[in-house]
Structure 1
Amino acid sequence: MDLTTPRRHGPTSIRLVRARDARVLQQELLSNRSWLRPWEATNPDGAVSFDMRVGIRRLLQQYRDGAGVPFVMEYDGEVAGQLNVWGIARGSLASATIGYWVSERFAGRGITPASVALATDVCFTELRIHRMEICIRPENQASLRVVEKLGFRYEGLRRRYIHINGDWRDHYAFALVREDVPEGVLQRWVSGRAPLDAATVPPADRLHA
């Protein structure tokens, strides 16, 4: 399995992050502060470092340990953001979670749904993950559209789940299992077969989030 080889859909591709990506990723993060801050994980015990050299070393160590897969998202060969598969559990659980960010200048080009589909297909077919989860803040309409497009199934409200932008925030949980997408997430999406209402949040959960 070679995750350094890009997986592509049109102009969008994902590949394993490299140490030499640190400079461009740090530049994108710093130049997108107002765009990304509302959705970024924070540390309740102190500041989060923006030293991407350290961050990439940590992510690649997690990859070597089998705990995560750190991807770079590219558009026409230009770095557009990051997508991390994290919390990989093996054995009877065989699950993982996806998180991502994309630069504001690349927003609206379909990069995120294509990247999430590509990464989920890699996890299902090559890493033998059984269940993929995405947790999204109720206010994050752009990310909610991603799971709607791809047909991720709504699975519930997680109260004060992740520390985001300085406080513990509620999240909606969405998931797919391998049996949901025998043809693959990407193929199901591009062929128009993703269920339109799978990601619908019940009114009761919308009221309480």
Structure 2
Amino acid sequence: MIEPRQLTPQVQLRIADLDDAPALADAYARSWDHLSPWEPARPDNWFTPEAQADRLKTNLTRYRNSQAVPWLLISDGRVLGGFTLNDLVPGPFRSAALGYWLAIDAVGQGLATLAVNAVAEIADHELKLHRIEASCMTSNAPSQAVLKRTGFQQIGFAPTYLHIRGAWQDCNLYQRILNDREPGA
């Protein structure tokens, strides 16, 4: 069980819960104009508590199966963003893929930087991973800045990597090496 992390006196990073569905739907609804340039097309019901509950059920099953770790940034019961380690690979690879987003009212406060650093610390010390990878669209300068501030290095370029806004988008590929210890140590 991964314990919550207090990032600021008001903001906590913790594992998502099914009870978060209404607050998650609200965060997406109030932030969609901000998020839509970086997100896949979403059905109209995406912004409902029911759709978010279904999504959370899937993510929490993946968490119980050690395939993913879904965190939310929470402040006073409001969701301020989501951070997920996906596709956790054990053995000699010891890697996972990081994805994240911030609600519009959380942008510009340093919360993404704090959360990515906390996720990296957990990935290193608790999950015993060697590296984290991430990708972001070449046009997403704010996300690239977060990755660079948190120790990620660009390792490649992937043309037509993600389908966003109805078209295949080019992305930069990044990684952060967490340690050089033996796998699982």
| TM-score normalised over the length of structure 2 | 0.87
Q: How does 1:14-93 map to 2 (within 5 A)?
A: 14-42=13-41, 47=43, 50=46, 51-75=51-75, 78-93=78-93
Conserved? CA contact 1:155–1:174, under 8 Å: yes
**Secondary structure in structure 2 of the residue aligned to 1:143:** helix
Identity rate of aligned residues, in percent? Answer: 27
In the alignment, the residues of structure 1 paired with residue 12 and residue 115 of structure 2 have an alpha-carbon distance, to the nearest angstrom, of 7
In the alignment, the residues of structure 2 paired with residue 103 and residue 55 of structure 1 have an alpha-carbon distance, to the nearest angstrom, of 18
Deviation at 1:42, TM superposition (A): 4.2
Which stretch shifts more, 17-26 or 147-156?
147-156
Amino acid of the structure 1 residue aligned with 2:118: L
Provide Cα deviations, 1:102-140, integer angstroms capped at 9, x if missing partner: 111111001101101101110111011111011011111
Q: CA 1:157–1:48 in 2, change beyond 3 Å: closer, same or farther?
A: farther
Amino acid of the structure 2 residue aligned with 1:158: A
Query: Quick check: 1:114 aligned with 2:114?
Result: yes
User: Which ranges in structure 1 are unaligned for 5 or more consecutive residues?
Assistant: 181-209
**Secondary structure in structure 2 of the residue aligned to 1:32:** helix
Provide Cα deviations, 1:116-174, integer angstroms capped at 9, x if missing partner: 11011101110111110110111111111101211211101011112122222111111
| Structure 1 segments (4+ residues) deviating >4 Å | none
> Cα RMSD over matched residues?
1.8
Aligned to 1:10: 8
Deviation at 1:176, TM superposition (A): 1.1
In the alignment, the residues of structure 2 paired with residue 30 and residue 10 of structure 1 have an alpha-carbon distance, to the nearest angstrom, of 25
Conserved? CA contact 2:30–2:104, under 8 Å: no
In the alignment, the residues of structure 2 paired with residue 117 and residue 144 of structure 1 have an alpha-carbon distance, to the nearest angstrom, of 14
User: Which ranges in structure 2 are unaligned for 5 or more consecutive residues?
Assistant: 181-185
Amino acid of the structure 2 residue aligned with 1:27: D
| TM-score normalised over the length of structure 1 | 0.78
